[in-house]
Amino acid sequence: MSTAYVFPGQGSQQVGMGSDWLGRSELVKQTFEEADAALGESLSKIILDGPMEDLTRTENTQPALLTVSVAYWRVLQAEGLGPDVVAGHSLGEYSALVCAGALQFADAVRLTRLRGQAMQNAVPVGVGSMAAIIGIKDVAIIEQLCIDAAEGQVLQPAGINTPGQVVIAGNVEAVDRALVLVKDRRGMGKKLNVSAPFHCALLAPAGVALGAALAEVEVSPLSVPYVPNVTGAWTVSPDAETVKANLVEQVSKAVLWEATMRSMVEQGVDHWLEVGAGRTLVGMVKRLERKANCNTFESESWRA
């Protein structure tokens, strides 16, 4: 049996996440306190009490989801459980790197706060947008759709998640044009309720800011392999500069989640545990491999 721990990104947040475990585990309580100390403010209050408007501000969402994922991972670790490989979707890659020993938790909390701020500041509200394209399995068709709809603006695949489910991002006008053109390609499109066009070239300035912050952070050798978003390839013992470069590129390049899942299947992964709030990622795994053995931390099925 080979087990992958996968860590969710933005969209899985909810007010009160992790609260069920606060009274059950000193490790969870300690993790929330460490996050507060790292930021010099009460992130835990926003996680536990909201309001949702504050939690969904990306500068809060990112360290909040990281905190919950790391808290859950620490519970698993205390139970003597661990993965054979880790991966995280977008923001979740930071959780994966903490749990693989590459990043210190406090550093990751500060980095994800800065990442959220930089991503939002890179593009004024109303300039960018994102949409999910459903029903087109050939990514080349979606790439051509982006070219046809761009008309001199930015538009590109931002998340290749599962066969038939790709997210695009760019200037709002270009996204709107794509939503019209996709009908001729026998697909459907749905605009996403997001505050910025994540994982596209418009976010390049955020990558510069993140790179400067990462230059001051120590990256340790990983204890297990991981699969970076920007390559989707099983990676063993990457050097510190490679890990940092992957995180910088990730800001303005597509999340290759379908490739990530396929590379893990090819390496023999047959058990998947989503470590964080919700069950978004195991749902994606099931769409790729219907017979996959998928569990979530919150279901406590890992106790079996």
**304 has a pLDDT exceeding 80:** no
Strand, coil or helix: 61: helix
Give the burial string for 11-31 (b: 16+ CB within 10 Å, else e): bbbebebbeebbeebebbbeb
Burial category of 201 from C-beta neighbours within 10 Å (exposed 0-12, middle 13-18, buried 19 and up): middle
Sign of the C-alpha dihedral computed for residues 114, 82, 71 and 282 taken in this order = positive
pLDDT of residue 171: 98
Write the pLDDT tens digit of every residue in 13-44.
Answer: 999 999 999 989 999 999 999 999 999 999 99
Q: Provide the pLDDT confidence category of residue 154 given band limits of 50, 70 and 90.
A: very high
Contacts of 282 (CB under 8 A, 6+ apart): 6, 272, 274, 294, 295, 296
pLDDT of residue 1: 76
Q: How far, in Å, CA of 92 to CA of 70, rounded?
A: 10
| CB-based contact 92:118 (threshold 8 Å) | no
- The reply to whether 128-191 shares the fold of 3-122+201-303 is no
Q: How far, in Å, CA of 5 to CA of 272, rounded?
A: 6
DSSP letters for 104-153:
-HHHHHHHHHHHHHHHHHHS-TTTEEEEEEES---HHHHHHHHHHHHTTS
Mean pLDDT of 145-159: 98
Q: Of residues 12, 69, 90, 252, which has the active-site annotation? A: 90
Q: Which two tokens stand for residue 9?
A: 């990104």
Write the pLDDT tens digit of every residue in 246-260.
Answer: 999 999 999 999 999
**271 has a pLDDT exceeding 80:** yes
Residue 252 annotated in active site: no
Q: Of residues 89, 95, 129, 199, which has the active-site annotation? A: 199
Write the pLDDT tens digit of every residue in 192-244.
Answer: 988 889 999 999 999 999 999 999 999 999 999 999 999 999 999 999 999 99
Residue whose entry in the numeric block shows the structure tokens 């500068």 = 59
Angle of CA points 60, 173, 197, to nearest 5°: 20
Phi and psi (nearest 5°) for 96?
A: -60, -40
The fold for domain 128-191 equals Alpha-Beta Plaits (3.30.70)
In CATH, 3-122+201-303 is 1.10.3210.10: no
Strands (E), the chain: 3-7, 85-88, 128-134, 155-162, 165-171, 188-191, 271-274, 293-296
Residue 90 annotated in active site: yes
How many CA atoms are closer than 13 Å to the CA of 71, on its beta-carbon side? 31
Q: What ranges do the domains of the chain cover?
A: 3-122+201-303, 128-191
